[in-house]
């Protein structure tokens, strides 16, 4: 069995974000593998280690620097990596275009049985690209999974819902997206970092995967930081008095009731 | 003033830096950056959550975590592949040393394992010894320790009293004596022990823990780095195999000094790592803490501290990478030589940069001392409470100025060695003062030509003083070795030259490469330059005052004093710019 994991390079969640000229400034920003994608990579490697798969391949869409994110996945234990890029893809937020490209690359990488990814990328919180690609490919998808078993041509996945737990089965090939309870991603050891240097990393153009990206179905018209938090007010005192004071403030000051 | 090549120790006193060949953090490879990430994740996941247990000196846990660094491959970087190591470059090997500094005393255990515990065997051990012990030391199945210090001999290391005598049958060495303050003593498996053969030939030996006659004393209670094990060792007719000698009889002093060189460089790097943490924690606190209705990060005095911390860290980091790059290049040349000559070339490389290694130790540990001290000050009363992390960082930092050679001993080495080289003609000081500093500075230094001129002038000050001392002592630079106050001042001037030039060279390269941090690098270089200038002036004036009182040429003395005059700069405005940049990113400015 072959597992494909799609990943995205994002900025660290700790990064101090600044907007510069309509884009997020990369000044002083460290780029990492999207943390949810790390869970997917870890799961793929675990499946391979337990004999459930022969090969783990990682795929990303991104400029040259995204190659470093792929190298990290190779150092964690993936066998090969693919990066698709075309300068026309640099437009922000073109999720539908990315989904088309991803589907094209996944088509070219066939045969594979399992497609894994993080359930969302921490930068744009869209949770849409790989899901749309799976739809294009016509495969079932099980999203935001906390536990995963693979065998007998199917996946059995556990999804934590609000107050209950759902167990889902789907035939392979299928897409499964990872939530954070799925596992604890390993950090690459130094010998594996050095080995990753010699693993294959292929770069594809749109021509290589036979895809015409087309134009996005929508355009981003603005990008702004959330307004600075204004000072919160803590209402003190005994619960009964505080409740009265709070209601009063909501009425007279915040004017919401 | 000609540009110098890098593969000469103390070459920075001869001429200007060739900017492009200077190693910088920005030039780390993708693998080196990934290695940093791995170590950082290890620290966050495995060490910091267990800091309280480690601080109570849970030896089992310390050993377990040290072995995990082995599993990650951090201790096999310097070990050649034929001994089951990775045989990677030196710049890779310093990455762990920097980032593990966040683990406080745990770093000390790691530093011994990968540094002074490993290097005597690595560079001086026989092939047989290396085959037997190196693979285990690289994987950390064997924890190592380094036993040099004794109750009566700390800085005076060669004055050790422990003895080693060949047994009557000639098959064993018999050791007698006591060692003190031995890091990893509580759980190490193999010890590099220094002892006197025939009472006067200082020699290194390898002793295994379970050897009869060898006992480990109780743990010391220390001011800081409480999570590291420190014990005494005693040897009573302790018999070890004849083949357990490291190097040759009488080579102990050379081994001790050479491995300490790299140990000192790595210590300097770790100290900068710890200073970065102090800065980050302080800025975050200053942004949260409100007084008089405003975050204290808005106040000028706090901002000035932040700017000064950042600029010193920047200069320290720049100089550490420069030295590491140079050491790596020299080692690589050793590798090329191959075979037995590779080891000897490696040893030559270690010795060649003893001035740089000593100055990194002094500078790194003093930047750290400044930063952890100001970190407490920024935290105010809360900094004095153990609940806040800075209290431990402060305690842990204090040892840096003491171990691996006190900063006093290291200053003696910096100035003493330069004088010795100059006395022998190995550093040609004749051209000193004959060329006007700042002449022919072109656009090679970009926006920092004025800083290049300040470096030139400071270099001319050092060269002038060196020349004076050498002349006064009849060509024998070492003769004034007794004047410790003089050596200290010369050492401080030399440190200022090297660190400032390194800061400048890194900023110039960043600008050329279009690095988004180039503005801040230039600003921090200027802040650092403004900070060191008054010290250079004082040190120069006090030095030439003593030398002229002893008969040195007064005209030359006043020329030196004039060169040491600080340039007029608006230091407050410069620091405001730096503070703004550091606070803007909430203190997470330096990668660590």
Cα–Cα dist B78/B115, whole Å: 9
CA torsion B206-B209-B212-B218 (nearest 10°) is 120
Residues from chain B that touch A68, judged by Cβ atoms under 8 A, are: 30, 33-34
Residues from chain A that touch B41, judged by Cβ atoms under 8 A, are: 187
How many residues are given for chain B?
A: 592
For chain B, the domains span 25-139, 144-249
- For B269, what's the count of Cα atoms within 13 Å in the CB-facing half-sphere? 30
pLDDT level of residue B40 (50, 70, 90 thresholds): very high
Quick one: pLDDT at residue B340?
60
Tell whether A187 lies on the interface with B, counting CB pairs under 8 A: yes
Q: Please name the residue of chain B whose CA is at the shortest distance from the CA of residue A184.
A: B45
Cα–Cα dist B159/B177, whole Å: 13
Quick one: pLDDT at residue B221?
94
Quick one: pLDDT at residue B120?
95
How confident is the model over B292-314, as pLDDT tens digits? Answer: 999 999 999 999 999 999 999 99
| pLDDT exceeds cutoff 70 at B339 | no
Cα–Cα dist B589/B575, whole Å: 15
Residues from chain B that touch A187, judged by Cβ atoms under 8 A, are: 37-38, 41-42, 45, 72
Q: How far is CA B427 from CA A89, A107, A171, B329, B424, in A?
A: 57, 67, 76, 20, 8
| pLDDT exceeds cutoff 60 at B476 | no
Cross-chain Cβ contact B42/A187 below 8 Å = yes
Quick one: pLDDT at residue B432?
44
Average pLDDT in the B210-230 region? 95
Average pLDDT in the B69-88 region? 93
**Distance between terminal CA atoms of chain B?**
37
The predicted model scores a pTM of 0.92
| pLDDT exceeds cutoff 60 at B4 | no
Quick one: pLDDT at residue B405?
92
Quick one: pLDDT at residue A217?
79
Query: Which segment of B179-193, B455-469, B473-487 scores lowest on mean pLDDT?
Result: B473-487
Residue closest to A77 by CA, chosen among A1, A157, A179, A185: A185
- For B293, what's the count of Cα atoms within 13 Å in the CB-facing half-sphere? 0
Q: Which of A26, A30, A189 sits opposite B71 (nearest CB)?
A: A189
Percent of chain B with pLDDT over 90: 80
Respond yes or no: is residue B404 known to be catalytic.
yes
Q: B45, B69, B71, B72: best mutation site toward chain A, by most A Cβ within 10 Å? A: B72
How confident is the model over B439-451, as pLDDT tens digits? Answer: 777 778 989 999 9
8 A C-beta contact, residue B519 and residue B463: no
How confident is the model over B321-333, as pLDDT tens digits? Answer: 999 999 998 888 7
For chain A, the domains span 2-204, 227-257
Residue closest to B374 by CA, chosen among B273, B300, B301: B301
Q: How far is CA B546 from CA A82, A222, B215, B483, B486, in A?
A: 69, 68, 51, 10, 8
Cα–Cα dist A7/B556, whole Å: 67
| pLDDT exceeds cutoff 80 at B398 | yes
Q: Please name the residue of chain A whose CA is at the shortest distance from the CA of residue B92.
A: A190
Quick one: pLDDT at residue B338?
62
Distance from CA of B216 to the nearest CA of A (A): 33
Cα–Cα dist B364/B370, whole Å: 10
Cross-chain Cβ contact B30/A71 below 8 Å = yes
Given the residues B404, B501, B520, B522, select the one marked as catalytic: B404
Residues from chain B that touch A27, judged by Cβ atoms under 8 A, are: 516-517
Q: Which of A26, A27, A71 sits opposite B34 (nearest CB)?
A: A71
Mean pLDDT for all residues in chain B = 92
Cα–Cα dist B244/B173, whole Å: 8
Cross-chain Cβ contact B41/A189 below 8 Å = no
**How many Cβ atoms are within 10 Å of B456's Cβ, its own excluded?**
22
Q: Which value does ipTM take for this structure?
A: 0.88
**Distance between terminal CA atoms of chain A?**
59
Fold of the domain built from segment(s) B25-139: Butyryl-Coa Dehydrogenase, subunit A; domain 1 (1.10.540)
Residues from chain A that touch B71, judged by Cβ atoms under 8 A, are: 189
Q: What are phi and psi of A177, to 5 degrees?
A: -110, 145
A139, two tokens: 């495969």
Cα–Cα dist B272/B320, whole Å: 9
Fold of the domain built from segment(s) A2-204: Rossmann fold (3.40.50)
Residue closest to B501 by CA, chosen among B534, B532, B543: B532
Q: Which of B31, B86, B517 sits opposite A28 (nearest CB)?
A: B517
Cross-chain Cβ contact A193/B35 below 8 Å = yes
B537, two tokens: 């002036």
Higher pLDDT, B370 or B478: B370
Residues of chain A with pLDDT under 50: none
CATH architecture of the region B144-249: Beta Barrel (2.40)
| pLDDT exceeds cutoff 50 at B433 | no
| pLDDT exceeds cutoff 70 at B6 | no
A74, two tokens: 């190779």
Report the 3 state secondary structure along B8-60.
Answer: CCCHHHCCECCHHHCCCHHHCCHHHHHHHHHHHHHHHHHHHHHHHHHHCCCHH
Q: B37, B580, B589: best mutation site toward chain A, by most A Cβ within 10 Å? A: B37
Cross-chain Cβ contact A194/B74 below 8 Å = no
Residues from chain A that touch B33, judged by Cβ atoms under 8 A, are: 68
Token pair 């550091």 is found at B582
Tell whether A62 lies on the interface with B, counting CB pairs under 8 A: no
| pLDDT exceeds cutoff 70 at B480 | no
């Amino acid at each position: 069995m072959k597992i494909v994991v799609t990943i995205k390079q994002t900025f660290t969640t700790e990064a101090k974000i600044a907007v510069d000229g309509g884009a997020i400034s990369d000044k002083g920003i460290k780029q990492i593998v999207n943390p949810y994608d790390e869970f997917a990579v870890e799961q793929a490697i675990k499946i391979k280690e337990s004999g459930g798969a022969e090969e783990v391949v990682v795929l990303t869409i991104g400029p040259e620097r995204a190659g470093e994110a792929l190298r990290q996945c190779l150092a964690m234990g993936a066998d090969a990596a693919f990066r698709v890029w075309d300068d026309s893809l640099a437009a922000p937020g073109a999720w539908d275009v990315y989904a088309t490209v991803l589907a094209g690359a996944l088509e070219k990488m066939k045969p594979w049985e399992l497609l894994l990814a993080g359930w969302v990328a921490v930068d744009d919180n869209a949770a849409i690209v790989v899901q749309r690609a799976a739809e294009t490919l016509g495969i079932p998808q099980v999203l935001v999974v906390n536990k995963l078993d693979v065998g007998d041509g199917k996946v059995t996945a556990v999804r934590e819902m609000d107050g209950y737990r759902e167990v889902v089965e789907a035939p392979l090939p299928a897409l499964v997206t990872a939530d954070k309870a799925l596992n604890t991603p390993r950090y690459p050891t130094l010998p594996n970092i050095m080995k990753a240097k010699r693993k294959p990393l292929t770069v594809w153009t749109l021509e290589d995967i036979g895809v015409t990206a087309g134009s996005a179905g929508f355009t981003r018209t603005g990008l702004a930081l959330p307004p600075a938090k204004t000072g919160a007010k803590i209402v003190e005192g005994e619960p009964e008095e505080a409740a009265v004071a709070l209601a009063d403030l909501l009425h007279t000051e915040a004017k919401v009731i | 003033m000609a540009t110098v090549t890098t593969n000469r120790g103390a070459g920075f006193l001869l001429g200007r830096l060739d900017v492009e060949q200077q190693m910088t953090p920005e030039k780390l490879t993708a693998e080196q950056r990934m290695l940093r990430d791995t170590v950082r994740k290890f620290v966050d996941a495995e060490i910091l959550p267990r800091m309280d247990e480690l601080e109570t000196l849970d030896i089992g846990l310390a050993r377990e975590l040290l072995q995990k660094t082995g599993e990650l491959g951090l201790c096999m970087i310097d070990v050649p592949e034929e001994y089951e190591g990775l045989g990677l470059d030196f710049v890779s090997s310093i990455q762990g040393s920097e980032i593990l500094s966040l683990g406080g005393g745990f770093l000390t255990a790691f530093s011994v394992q990968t540094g002074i515990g490993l290097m005597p065997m690595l560079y001086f051990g026989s092939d047989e010894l290396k085959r037997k012990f190196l693979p285990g030391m690289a994987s950390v199945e064997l924890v190592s320790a380094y036993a040099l210090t004794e109750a009566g001999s700390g800085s005076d290391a060669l004055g050790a009293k422990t003895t080693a005598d060949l047994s009557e049958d000639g098959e064993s060495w018999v050791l007698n004596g006591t060692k003190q303050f031995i890091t990893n003593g509580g759980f190490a498996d193999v010890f590099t022990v220094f002892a006197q053969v025939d009472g006067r030939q200082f020699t290194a030996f390898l002793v295994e823990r379970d050897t009869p006659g060898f006992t480990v004393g109780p743990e010391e209670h220390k001011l800081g780095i409480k999570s590291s094990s420190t014990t005494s060792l005693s040897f009573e007719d302790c018999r070890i195999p004849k083949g357990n000698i490291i190097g040759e009889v009488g080579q102990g002093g050379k081994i001790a000094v050479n491995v300490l060189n790299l140990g000192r460089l790595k210590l300097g790097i770790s100290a900068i790592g710890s200073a970065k943490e102090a800065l980050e924690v302080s800025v975050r606190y200053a942004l949260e803490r409100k007084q008089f209705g405003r975050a204290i990060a808005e106040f000028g005095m706090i901002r000035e501290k932040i700017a000064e911390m950042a600029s010193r860290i920047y200069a320290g980091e720049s100089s550490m990478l420069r030295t590491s790059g140079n050491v790596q290049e020299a080692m690589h040349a050793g590798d090329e030589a191959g075979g037995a000559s590779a080891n000897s070339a490696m040893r030559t490389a270690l010795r060649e940069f003893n001035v740089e290694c000593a100055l990194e130790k002094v500078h790194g540990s003093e930047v750290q001392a400044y930063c952890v001290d100001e970190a407490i000050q920024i935290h105010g009363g809360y900094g004095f409470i153990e609940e806040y992390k800075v209290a431990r960082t402060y305690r842990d930092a204090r040892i840096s100025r003491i171990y691996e050679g006190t900063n006093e001993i290291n200053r003696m080495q910096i100035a003493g060695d330069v004088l010795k080289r100059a006395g022998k003609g190995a550093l040609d000081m004749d051209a000193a003062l004959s060329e006007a500093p700042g002449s022919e500075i072109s656009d090679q230094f970009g926006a920092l030509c004025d800083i290049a001129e300040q470096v030139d002038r400071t270099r001319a000050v050092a060269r002038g003083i060196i020349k004076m001392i050498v002349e006064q002592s009849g060509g024998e630079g070492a003769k004034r070795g007794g004047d410790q106050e003089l050596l200290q001042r010369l050492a401080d001037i030399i440190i200022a030259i090297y660190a400032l030039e390194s800061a400048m060279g890194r900023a110039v390269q960043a600008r050329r490469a279009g690095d988004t941090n180039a503005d801040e690098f230039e600003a921090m270089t200027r802040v650092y330059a403004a900070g060191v200038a008054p010290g250079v002036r004082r040190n120069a004036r006090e030095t030439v005052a003593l030398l002229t009182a002893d008969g040195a040429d007064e005209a030359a003395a006043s020329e030196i004093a004039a060169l040491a005059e600080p340039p007029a700069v608006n230091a407050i405005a410069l620091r405001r710019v730096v503070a703004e940049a550091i606070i803007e990113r909430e203190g997470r400015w330096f990668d660590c």
